[in-house]
A and B are shown apart, each in its own frame.
Chain A
C-alpha cells in the first residue's frame, strides 16, 4: 500500500468486504482477534496493495464511537503502536536511540487518537515519562493493567 491505490474506488466497501471475507462482521472483531498487531500489519493483511492503515483506523474509530468504546480503542491503539515501535518492550535505558523510539511510538499513537483525546494522551505521555514502566513492558492489548490505569474507561 504505497502507491495511492488504496484510495481508488469505494475503499470503505472494499475494506468491509475484506473483513467479511475473513469471517468477521466488524473491523473491531477482526482487530480484536489480532491484539497488539500494528495497524500497518492489519492493513496489509486486508489488502497488501490497496488498503491503507489510516483506513483501518478510520473504521475502527467509527465502530468504537458507535459502541461507545473509544477509550478502549485508544488503549488498543497504544498497544499496537508500542508493538510496532518497541517490539522488545519498553527500553531499560533511555539513550538517543531508544528515547526516539519511545517518542516516535507515543507521538504516532497520539496522532492516531481522536482530537477530543488530545489532553488525555498528553497526560499519558507525561505520566509515562515521569514514571517509566518496567523494562520490557509490552502491553498485549487494551486490557493491559498499566494501560487501564493510565486510561480508565469513563464511558457510559
Chain B
C-alpha cells in the first residue's frame, strides 16, 4: 500500500480532474446553437402505455393540442426532439469511430485490439437500430402530416412515441457504453498493470447489465420501451457505481506502478460523453455532492443546485409532447433524473419535485391518461384489437399499410371492456363485440366506399373512414402495436 499522504494527494488530484470535467460539461450544457439543451443525452418522449381511457384529444382539450395549431405544435416539438437525438447520436458515433480508428495499442492493448474489438462492435450494432428507430419516427411524422382527420393525425403522431423514446434512451445507454470503452481503452494504453483479461471481464459484465434494457428498447414495443425507460435511472445508478469502481481499480493499479500523476492524466484523457459525468460521485474524500442536491424548476430550466440540468426550452418541448400524449410523465421524469445525475439515490422510484413535474406538463388529466396497459393490479393485460382487421392484411397492404404503417401499428386496447367483462358488471359491449362486428362493419364500409368511388382508396382515405368509425364507437385514437399473427 502507498503512504496515506500519497493516497490523499492522489485523491485530491482526481477530485480536481473530476471538478474540471464537471466544469467542462457545464459548458456543453450551455453550448450555443443548441438552445441550451443537452446535446448528448437522449431526451425522451411519449407515453408508451396506451391509454384506453383517455380522451381522443388527450388531456385537457382546452390546452389546444387538437386541431391544426395543436398538431403543428406537437409536430414541431417532435421534429426538434428527433433533431436533438440525432445530434446526440452523431456525437456518440464520432466518439465510437475515434476509438475504432485509433492506432491499435502495443501488443493489442486497446479497445480496437483483437480481443476487445467485439465490444466496439456491440456499440456499432446499437447505432444501427437507433438510427432505424429515428428514421421510422421521422417517416411516421411525415405520414401524419398528410392525414386529414386531426384526431387521427394525432393518433399517428403518437405512434412515434415508442420509437423516439427508444432512440433517446438507447442513445443515452450507448453513450454510457462508449464511456466504458473509452475508459478501458485509456487504461489499456497507459496502464501496464491493467490486464486485458480484467478489461474483458469488466466490459462483459457491464454489457450484461445493459443487455435486457437494450433489448427492450430495440424491440420498440411500447410496453417494453416504457419499462426500460422507467428502469433507467436505477440502471444508470448501477452503471455509475461500476464505472466508478473500474476507474478506481485503474487508479490503484497505476498508483501501484508509482504513476500517480500519469493516472490523473489518463483520466483526464477520458472525456466522458454520457451522463455519467453528471452522476459520478467525487472520489473520496469529497462528499458525493450531487447526491441529495434536489432538482428545482427555475426560469432557466431544471436546476440541480446551481447547474442547469435541462433548459427551459427543452422543458417546453417535452411539455408539448407530454400533453399531446406522445410521451409519458414517468419516462420524461426518468430522463430528467438521469440528466441531473440523480441516479445514485436509493429513492430511485421517487417522483420529481412537484414544480418540475408541473413544468413538464404533469397534471391530473395527464396522469389519468397514462393509466394503462393493465386493467388493475394482478390483472392480465387487456387484449389488443386490430382496428384494421388482420384477416384482411393483404387488402390493407395493397393500400399502403406497410412497414411503419402496417396494420399491426393500429391496435387499441379496450381495457374497460375487459375489466367489466371479467366482473360481469357494467354494460360494456365494445370489447365483446370485437372482432366480428367491428371487422365486418369496417370492411363493409371500406369496400362499399371503394364501390362508390369506383377506385381503390388511398391510405389516407382509409384512415379518414376508419377515424370516423372509431369516433362512432367512441374508441380513443390511442394506438399500440399488436402482434402480427
Given the contacts A3-B53, A7-B416, A103-B457, A111 and B427 also touching, CB distance less than 8 Å = no
| Closest chain A residue to B54, Cβ basis | A3
Question: CB within 8 A of B472: which of A3, A53, A99, A122?
Answer: A53
CA distance A100 to B151 in the complex (A): 19
| Closest chain A residue to B415, Cβ basis | A4
Chain B positions within 8 Å of A121 at CB level: 448
CA distance A112 to B469 in the complex (A): 10
Q: Would you call B427 and A4 a contact (CB within 8 A)? A: no
Q: Hey, what's the 0/1 contact readout for A29-51 against B, CB within 8 Å counting as 1?
A: 00000000001100000000000
Chain A interface mostly: helix
Question: CB within 8 A of B416: which of A2, A4, A54?
Answer: A4
| Closest chain A residue to B151, Cβ basis | A2
Asked if A21 CB lies within 8 Å of chain B CBs, one says no
> Nearest-CB distance from B287 to chain A (Å)?
49
Chain A positions within 8 Å of B53 at CB level: 3-4
Chain B positions within 8 Å of A12 at CB level: 427
Q: Which of B441, B447, B468 has the most CB of A within 10 A?
A: B468
Given the contacts A107-B448, A110-B445, A122-B448, A52 and B416 also touching, CB distance less than 8 Å = no
Chain B positions within 8 Å of A126 at CB level: 451
Chain A positions within 8 Å of B449 at CB level: 103-104, 106-108, 110
Q: Would you call A3 and B441 a contact (CB within 8 A)? A: no
CA distance A9 to B441 in the complex (A): 24
| Closest chain B residue to A106, Cβ basis | B452
Given the contacts A54-B472, A118-B444, A7 and B451 also touching, CB distance less than 8 Å = no
Asked if B172 CB lies within 8 Å of chain A CBs, one says no
Chain A positions within 8 Å of B453 at CB level: 99-100, 102-103
Question: CB within 8 A of B475: which of A4, A111, A125?
Answer: A4
> Nearest-CB distance from B300 to chain A (Å)?
37
CA distance A54 to B469 in the complex (A): 9
| Closest chain B residue to A121, Cβ basis | B448
Chain B positions within 8 Å of A99 at CB level: 453-455
Chain A positions within 8 Å of B106 at CB level: none
Asked if B126 CB lies within 8 Å of chain A CBs, one says no
Asked if B461 CB lies within 8 Å of chain A CBs, one says yes
Q: Would you call A129 and B454 a contact (CB within 8 A)? A: yes
| Closest chain A residue to B458, Cβ basis | A100
> Nearest-CB distance from A66 to chain B (Å)?
19
Chain A positions within 8 Å of B451 at CB level: 106, 122, 125-126, 129
Other A-B pairs beyond A100-B453, A106-B448, 6, CB < 8 Å: A4-B414, A106-B452, A107-B449, A110-B448, A125-B451, A128-B452
26 A/B residue pairs, CB under 8 Å, sorted by A: A1-B471, A1-B474, A3-B54, A4-B54, A4-B474, A7-B429, A7-B474, A9-B426, A40-B472, A53-B472, A53-B474, A54-B472, A100-B457, A103-B449, A103-B453, A106-B449, A107-B449, A107-B452, A107-B465, A108-B445, A108-B465, A111-B444, A111-B448, A112-B441, A125-B451, A129-B452
9 closest A-B pairs by CB: A107-B449, A2-B56, A111-B445, A103-B453, A52-B474, A110-B448, A3-B55, A106-B452, A103-B452
Listed in ascending order, the chain A residues whose CB lies under 8 Å from chain B are 1-13, 39-40, 52-54, 57, 99-100, 102-104, 106-108, 110-112, 115, 118, 121-122, 125-126, 128-129
